[in-house]
């Protein structure tokens, strides 16, 4: 089995760190394909013969002009076609305009399970985590909320297995 998973989130939330932790093998073909392509493949997780192909969706940033709006449409279309979307947020930062903007985009994505992944839990107290969860969970019907530490690897295996079960 194999399938595509898109990781979205504002800069510095830990998208690259999470992929690097999970991915055993970088995909060579992405090297010569710049941001102008529809999506960017970042790596492949192979586990017991199954594959999760991670991709980035470059259209998810605030549109400044028409091209931006078009990019958003393309991104939404991409997110509709993948097996799952991981929306990564930073547990050390309050929900900001960048996160709200992504949630608005995600509201246009139908039929794809969207997981809220709260990263950097190694840096916060338990009570803080509950606050973060509360601030997000009424905004969107997330398939599940998964707190992780991409640096320490906390819960990353659970996240991987959850994704493998969707394939
Ligand atoms: P991206 O912009 O979303 O790809 O974010 P990066 O993966 O580049 O991470 C941004 C910064 O956050 C880097 O300095 C990472 O080392 C740090 N970081 C990422 N995940 C974690 C985590 O789980 N815990 C801690 N403490 N730092 C993290
Ligand atoms: Mg990155």
H-run or E-run covering 83: none
11 — pLDDT class (breaks 50, 70, 90): confident
Identify the pLDDT of residue 103.
95
Q: Which of 14, 43, 147 to mutate to test the pocket of ligand 1 (most atoms within 8 A of CB)?
A: 14
Cβ(150) – ligand 1 distance below 6 Å: yes
Reported pTM: 0.90
CB atoms within 10 A of CB 148: 25
8 A C-beta contact, residue 106 and residue 140: yes
**Domain boundaries, position 88:** 2-164
Identify the pLDDT of residue 34.
44
Tell me the average pLDDT across 73-81: 89
8 A C-beta contact, residue 90 and residue 14: yes
d(CA 53, CA 41): 7
Tokens of 163: 């994704």
62 — pLDDT class (breaks 50, 70, 90): low
Residues in Cβ contact with 130 at an 8 Å cutoff, skipping those fewer than 6 apart: none
Instruction: Identify the CATH number of the domain in which residue 49 sits.
Output: 3.40.50.300
ipTM over 0.95: yes
Cβ(147) – ligand 1 distance below 6 Å: no
Q: Is 141 helix (H, G, I), strand (E, B) or coil?
A: coil
Tokens of 24: 């055993």
- For ligand 1, atom 20, name the residue with the nearest CA: 14
Transcribe 117-128 into DSSP letters. EEE-GGGS-HHH
8 A C-beta contact, residue 79 and residue 57: yes
Looking at the predicted structure, is the pLDDT value of residue 29 above 50? no
> How many independent structural domains does the chain possess?
1
Tokens of 62: 């605030």
Sign of CA dihedral 166, 146, 27, 74: positive
CA trace torsion 60, 63, 64, 69 (10° rounding):
130
Q: What is the pLDDT of residues 86-131, one digit of tens each?
A: 999 999 999 999 999 999 999 999 899 999 999 999 999 999 999 9
d(CA 130, CA 58): 30
67 — pLDDT class (breaks 50, 70, 90): low
Identify the pLDDT of residue 58.
64
Cβ(122) – ligand 1 distance below 6 Å: yes
8 A C-beta contact, residue 114 and residue 82: no
Cβ(15) – ligand 1 distance below 6 Å: yes
């Amino acid at each position: 089995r194999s399938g595509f998973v898109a990781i979205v989130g504002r800069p510095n939330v830990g998208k690259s760190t999470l992929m690097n932790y999970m991915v055993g093998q970088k995909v060579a073909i992405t090297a010569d394909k710049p941001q102008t392509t529809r999506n960017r493949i970042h790596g492949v997780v192979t586990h017991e013969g199954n594959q999760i192909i991670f991709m980035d969706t470059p259209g998810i940033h605030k549109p400044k002009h028409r091209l931006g709006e078009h990019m958003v449409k393309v991104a939404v279309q991409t997110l509709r076609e993948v097996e799952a979307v991981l929306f990564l947020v930073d547990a050390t930062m309050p929900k900001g305009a960048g996160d709200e903007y992504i949630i608005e985009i995600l509201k246009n994505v139908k039929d794809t399970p969207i997981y809220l992944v709260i990263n950097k839990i190694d840096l916060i107290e338990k009570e803080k985590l509950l606050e973060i969860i509360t601030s997000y969970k009424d905004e969107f019907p997330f398939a599940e909320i998964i707190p992780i530490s991409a640096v320490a690897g906390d819960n990353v295996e659970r996240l991987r297995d959850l994704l493998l079960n969707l394939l």
